[in-house]
Amino acid sequence: MSSGRAATLSWAASARAAIARSSRQATRGYGRAAFRPGSVLVTGSSGKGTTCHLVAQVLRAAGLHPVVAATGASPWSGVADALLTRKRTGRRRNDPRAIGLVEVDAAALPGLVRRVRHPAALVCTNILGGQPDDNPADTALPALLERAMRSLPATTTLILNADDPRVAELAPDLPNPRLYFGMSDPVHGRVRPDPTAEVARCPRCGSQLSYARAYYAHLGHWACGRCCLSRPEPDVTVTKIGLVGSSSSRLQVKTTSAKAVLEVPLPGMYNAYNALAAVAVAKHLGMPAWSLRAIDNASGGPMRMERTHAAGHEVLLAVATNATGYSEVLRAILGDGEPRRMLLGLSTRRRQPDVSWIWDVDFEALAGLVPAPIVCGNRAADLGVRLKYAGWLGDGRHQGQSAGATIEPDPIRAVRAAIADTPPGQPLWIVSTATALAEIRRWLLQLDDVPDQAAGLAGQNRDSGRAGGRVATRLTRPRFAGPRIAASRPTRPRLAGAGLGGAQPSGPQPSAPPRSAALSPALPPSRARPDRGDRPGRSARPGQAGAAR
Amino acid sequence: MTTRQITVAHLYPDVMSSYGDRGNVAAIVRRCRWRDVGVTVTELRPGDKVVPADLDLIVIGGGGEPQQRQIAADLYKVKGGAIRDAVAAGTAALAVGEGYELFGRFCQPDKGAELRGIELFDSWTIRGRVADVGAAHQDRATARPRTDPAVRDLVVRWDGGLLVGFENSSGRTYLGPDAVPLGRVISGRGNNGDGSEGVCLGGAIGTNMRGPCLPANPALADFLISVALCRRYGTADLSPLADDLELAARATAMQRTVLTARRRALTWPLRKQASPPASGAGAVPPRLGNHARAGMHR
């Protein structure tokens, strides 16, 4: 009896090992080819996925072929996935326009850096506080990133968030060129950092930092009173932010050489930072200014303020995995003070019993804006207690009774109940941690009344042709359309003078990366992205077609 | 009914708050307000003095090791004596995690000099590799040996009821002969694996239960509130509250504990093969909570 169970378990373990081995092998076979010199690594605590997604759309609009690899804590699964996808799309292995975009967890970065030769840039979005056990924000995470940075070649540009003191001062002695991005909006931002954000300390001398302006968490215009270290002047900056309700924001972006106004269809300050990071990457890669228009029609990626429809309601999904993320997502949704229907989720995997970070989420400031919230996930009860003590469930005249909240651990049942409860015509917001939200999203996408959404998502999702029914076209050899330049490769795709690529960051120029020869100043943008029969999802999107002209 | 009023001191709210420890203060404030008891919260930062006569309840949370090092000197020099006096005069206190360690005699960190505690509790803590030789395993992120912190749910029998929390401690706390443990461990590690958890000294409580323990354990919160009220008014009559959500959260935590215990019992032979003890001590360190597992299957 017990031996049978042991056999089952060991079979499962060996199957897991086999999968891991095969994904490693896939990586070994293709890894060098996929992440040729010139790829971009995006890391940080939060916002790396959205940043990658936005950069990918800009690159696609400019005619490149980004290969996006979303790697979580274990890098190889995501890389292998991206490579298989790329194989399916039928591109040549030495596609001259391919560019790797790797979203990588900070913990996995040191391992990945060794496998990616000569990356063009390493982007670090932010380092947010976490629990001391899994990512000690003050010591281990910056130390990990520094270690990874030191193993990079000296030509790789570091694209860093100037507003995050922990990020801006990473490895200050490295000779690598640095490109800083940051907010300069004089109107938005608070005078003090969040009361719930942990106190930021000077990365050099350890004393408490003072802030002239704080945008979110500990990001802002910081300075150290003791050693006079202060925020570096950003090369790419936002001079004015207009946060348009819970749907979008308008950014006036300024680089050293150009200005642009972006309509980012994602709400919240943290998404403004993501868009800014994407602009910084585009500037570094020398993308033309018009390709930034792709951000206007971008989506944040799956589960990042993603819109779907269910039973006649608009349903918006937002993932939030840590205290700052949860606070900022809620602030972005409820910032205008309008009450909204909301389903909140909290789930953990079984190895992580800790959900104490929910007590660092600033629920108190938003009390009363969500009438009768529905709470789901395997830790729904803990979240319910949190909401109760934050005053979301009515005040205590009822002697602490939980008036109005529905606790339903099963996400699917909870979302059914939430949809049934939502008055017709009103949108339903779902904010949750990843596990429960992924389950909800899968269920929503299976519903019959969202075929357009599903297709649209699959088209935008990664660099893929995952929407079904195109097996035949996948199997055909790719027709190579576009200039074939093999012998002489310019150093970088650059439209001289036409866009943001005019000014490069200070420091030595990244000499090597001969990645893509496809873009040249002479090439008109409309030809840069020829319509190809095997990519129906792409050409059907109005946004990029419009942006490319 | 006259309005009652208590004063709560929150020590180092910016530094010692890594596990949502402001939740403990929020629980006290809300539960008092629901009963028409006014609460004043004074936040005491480095340099601020403790005035024993004013305080009814002292709360200190947990932090990381750097945070603990940061405040240890200030706690010992500026506040220590006053806190001892206050507790002797009947003030309630709650010390969690690293704060609990500093309320003892001393704390020996993994590296560096030992930190002096304020000697309120007769306890001491030894942390890191010194504490559990042989329990070191490879940290995947940093590829360095790392001691095994006990990250799991902690269930403790206390005062006829149960307390449920979450523990994450790489230290082991030992109690001296004068110290009375807060409760007996049912599942988890507790102080050092010997079955005791926390310490209790009059109205002062030290515990390893993080991830704020008071919202999850309304009985413990009410105990602290009634001690604080007794100190000020000589009597405490607390009206009962509807704790349905809290009890639901506790129930899921218990369920999780039972499931974990079952799974661990089932996979015990496999894990024993999979992870041989590191070289050194030779003997397998007592896997924590074995007795609890055995009890569950009896």
Write the CB contacts of B239 (distance below 8 Å, at least 6 apart in sequence): A399, B35
Beta-carbon neighbour count of residue A16 at 10 Å?
10
Task: From chain B, pick out residues whose CB is under 8 angstroms from the CB of A350.
Answer: 256, 259-260
Among B155, B189, B145, which residue's Cα sits nearest to residue B280?
A: B145
Q: What are A150-205's pLDDT values in tens digits?
A: 989 899 999 999 999 989 988 889 999 999 999 998 888 777 776 666 667 888 88
Return mean pLDDT, chain A: 73
Q: Give the CATH number for residue B268.
A: 3.40.50.880
Q: How far is B23 from chain A (nearest CA, A)?
A: 6
Using 50, 70 and 90 to split pLDDT, how confident is the model at B178?
confident
How far is B42 from A448, CA to CA, in rounded Å?
56
Closest residue in A to B18 (Cα–Cα): A131
3-class SS at A15?
helix
| pLDDT, position A30 | 44
**Which residue did the predictor score with more confidence, A18 or A433?**
A433
Task: From chain B, pick out residues whose CB is under 8 angstroms from the CB of A405.
Answer: 245
Mean pLDDT of A301-316: 85
What predicted TM-score, i.e. pTM, was given to this entire model?
0.74
- How many domains does chain B contain in total? 1
Among A217, A224, A182, A218, which residue's Cα sits nearest to residue A202?
A: A224
Is a pLDDT exceeding 90 seen at residue A348? no
Is a pLDDT exceeding 60 seen at residue B150? no
How far is B275 from A467, CA to CA, in rounded Å?
43
Q: Show the tokens assigned to A425.
A: 């015509």
Task: From chain B, pick out residues whose CB is under 8 angstroms from the CB of A390.
Answer: 26
What residue type is A465 in one-letter code?
G
Contact: B142, A140; criterion CB under 8 Å: yes
Among B235, B204, B241, B230, which residue's Cα sits nearest to residue B36?
A: B241
Q: Does B273 touch chain A (CB under 8 A)?
A: no
**Which residue did the predictor score with more confidence, A473 or A106?**
A106
| pLDDT, position A235 | 93
Among A219, A267, A224, which residue's Cα sits nearest to residue A243?
A: A267
| pLDDT, position A161 | 95
Mean pLDDT of A488-503: 40
Residue B8: what are its φ and ψ, rounded to 5°?
-115, 130
Q: What are A213-227's pLDDT values in tens digits?
A: 888 888 899 999 888
Q: Does A146 touch chain B (CB under 8 A)?
A: no
Burial class (CB in 10 A: 0-12, 13-18, 19+), B164: buried
Task: From chain B, pick out residues whose CB is under 8 angstroms from the CB of A211.
Answer: none
Using 50, 70 and 90 to split pLDDT, how confident is the model at A508?
very low
| pLDDT, position A323 | 85
Q: Give chain A's count of helices (H) and strands (E).
A: 16, 17
Is a pLDDT exceeding 60 seen at residue A115? yes
Q: Does A378 touch chain B (CB under 8 A)?
A: yes
How far is A162 from A179, CA to CA, in rounded Å?
9
User: Taking the CA of residue A253 as centre, how many other CA atoms within 13 Å lie in the half-sphere pointing to its CB?
Assistant: 30
Mean pLDDT of A311-316: 87
Interface test with A, best of B245, B247, B250, B275 (most A CBs within 10 A): B245
Q: Show the tokens assigned to A92.
A: 């040549």
Please, which residues 164-223 of chain A have a Cβ atom closer than 8 Å to chain B?
Answer: 196, 198-199
| pLDDT, position B28 | 95
| pLDDT, position A434 | 86
Task: From chain A, pick out residues whose CB is under 8 angstroms from the CB of B34.
Answer: 396, 399-400
Contact: B151, A360; criterion CB under 8 Å: no
Task: From chain B, pick out residues whose CB is under 8 angstroms from the CB of A354.
Answer: 19, 151, 166, 168, 210-211
Mean pLDDT of A530-537: 39
Interface test with B, best of A354, A358, A374, A407 (most B CBs within 10 A): A354
How far is B198 from B185, CA to CA, in rounded Å?
10
**Which residue did the predictor score with more confidence, A432 or A499?**
A432
Closest residue in A to B147 (Cα–Cα): A133
Task: From chain A, pick out residues whose CB is under 8 angstroms from the CB of B241.
Answer: 399-400
Task: From chain A, pick out residues whose CB is under 8 angstroms from the CB of B251.
Answer: 381
| pLDDT, position A24 | 59
Contact: A402, B211; criterion CB under 8 Å: no
Q: What are A230-250's pLDDT values in tens digits?
A: 999 999 999 998 877 777 888
List helix spans (H) across A285-345: 323-334
- Residue B18 has its nearest CB partner, among A10, A132, A385, at A132
Contact: A382, B31; criterion CB under 8 Å: no
How far is B181 from B164, CA to CA, in rounded Å?
16
Using 50, 70 and 90 to split pLDDT, how confident is the model at A346?
very high
Question: Beta strand pairing status for A121-124 and A40-43?
Answer: parallel
Domain extent, residue B105, equals 4-297
Closest residue in A to B238 (Cα–Cα): A399
Share of chain A above pLDDT 90, in %: 20
Residue B254: what are its φ and ψ, rounded to 5°?
-65, -40
Q: What are A354-402's pLDDT values in tens digits?
A: 788 899 888 988 888 888 889 999 999 999 999 999 988 865 555 444 4
Please, which residues 351-370 of chain A have a Cβ atom closer than 8 Å to chain B?
Answer: 352-360
Using 50, 70 and 90 to split pLDDT, how confident is the model at A456?
very low
Sheet holding A178-183, edge to edge: A65-70, A98-103, A40-43, A121-124, A157-161, A178-183, A236-244, A248-254, A259-264
Q: Does A381 touch chain B (CB under 8 A)?
A: yes
Interface test with B, best of A71, A133, A207, A385 (most B CBs within 10 A): A385
Closest residue in B to A405 (Cα–Cα): B245
How far is A92 from B215, CA to CA, in rounded Å?
58
Site of tokens 């390493």: A122
Using 50, 70 and 90 to split pLDDT, how confident is the model at B89?
very high
| pLDDT, position A71 | 62
List helix spans (H) across chain B: 22-33, 65-74, 80-88, 98-102, 213-216, 218-233, 244-266, 268-274, 290-297
Q: Does A296 touch chain B (CB under 8 A)?
A: no
Q: Does B267 touch chain A (CB under 8 A)?
A: yes
Mean pLDDT of A55-74: 80
| pLDDT, position A26 | 52
Question: Beta strand pairing status for A248-254 and A259-264?
Answer: antiparallel
Residue A318: what are its φ and ψ, rounded to 5°?
-135, 130
Q: Does A538 touch chain B (CB under 8 A)?
A: no
Interface test with B, best of A356, A358, A402 (most B CBs within 10 A): A356
Q: How far is B253 from chain A (nearest CA, A)?
A: 9
β partners of residue B94: B59, B205
Is a pLDDT exceeding 70 seen at residue B92? yes
Contact: B20, A357; criterion CB under 8 Å: yes
Contact: A359, B66; criterion CB under 8 Å: no
3-class SS at A359?
helix
Sheet holding A428-432, edge to edge: A304-310, A313-319, A428-432, A341-345, A374-376, A406-407
A54 with A279: CB under 8 angstroms? no
Using 50, 70 and 90 to split pLDDT, how confident is the model at B286?
very low
How far is A421 from A18, CA to CA, in rounded Å?
46
Among B196, B15, B202, which residue's Cα sits nearest to residue B91?
A: B202
Among A276, A273, A246, A251, which residue's Cα sits nearest to residue A261?
A: A251
Contact: A140, B141; criterion CB under 8 Å: yes
Share of chain A above pLDDT 70, in %: 64
A431 with A344: CB under 8 angstroms? yes
Please, which residues 202-261 of chain B have a Cβ atom closer than 8 Å to chain A?
Answer: 210-212, 215-216, 239-246, 248-249, 251-252, 256, 259-260
Task: From chain B, pick out residues whose CB is under 8 angstroms from the CB of A409.
Answer: 252
Q: How far is B176 from chain A (nearest CA, A)?
A: 28
Domains present along chain A, CATH in parentheses:
32-182+266-297 (3.40.1190.10), 304-460 (3.90.190.20)
Q: How many CB pairs under 8 A join A and B?
A: 127
